[in-house]
Amino acid sequence: MRKLIKQHLKNQKGLTLIELLVVIVILGIIAAIAVPLVMSNREDAAQAAAAQTNSIILDAGNRYQTIEGTLPTNFGELATYIDINSISCPANRGVASVDSTTPYDPSLCDESE
C-alpha cells in the first residue's frame, strides 16, 4: 500500500482541482474573518480621532472663557487658544509644525517625523 501511495505521489506533477478548491475556500474563510476586524479597527480609530478633536475644541473654549471672560462666538476666535502640541498628524507622523495662531491643517504636518 505504501509503495502504491509513494508511486502515485511521485507521478503527480501539480495540484488537483479539489486541492486548489480547498485552498481557495480556506483563503475565503480567512478573508471573511479578517475584513470585518480591520474595518472595525478603522471605525474605532475614527471615533477616537473625533473624540480627541472634541476634547481639543472644548479645552480651547475653556481657555478662551477663562482669559476673555466670555464664550467664543465662532471657531476662529479659538485659534490662538488651541494647544497645537495636542494635535496629532495623520498616519502617526508626529505633531503639526505650525505656530499656535495657525488653525490646524493636516497638510502642514512635519513629514520628517
Q: Which residues contact 94 (CB under 8 A, 6 or more apart)?
A: 88, 109, 110, 113
How confident is the model at residue 97, as a pLDDT? 41
Mean per-residue pLDDT, 37-60: 84
What's the alpha-carbon Rg for the chain, to the nearest Å?
28
pLDDT band at 30 (very low <50, low <70, confident <90, very high): very high
Mean pLDDT for all residues in the chain? 75
Q: What percent of the chain has pLDDT over 70?
A: 68
pLDDT band at 27 (very low <50, low <70, confident <90, very high): very high
The predicted-structure confidence for 63-81, as pLDDT tens digits, reads as follows: 888 988 988 888 788 878 8
Report whether pLDDT(1) > 50: yes
Q: How far apart are CA 18 and CA 33, in angstroms?
A: 23
Report whether pLDDT(49) > 60: yes
The predicted-structure confidence for 6-18, as pLDDT tens digits, reads as follows: 777 677 677 788 9
Q: Whole-prediction pTM value?
A: 0.47
Q: How far apart are CA 82 and CA 97, in angstroms?
A: 13
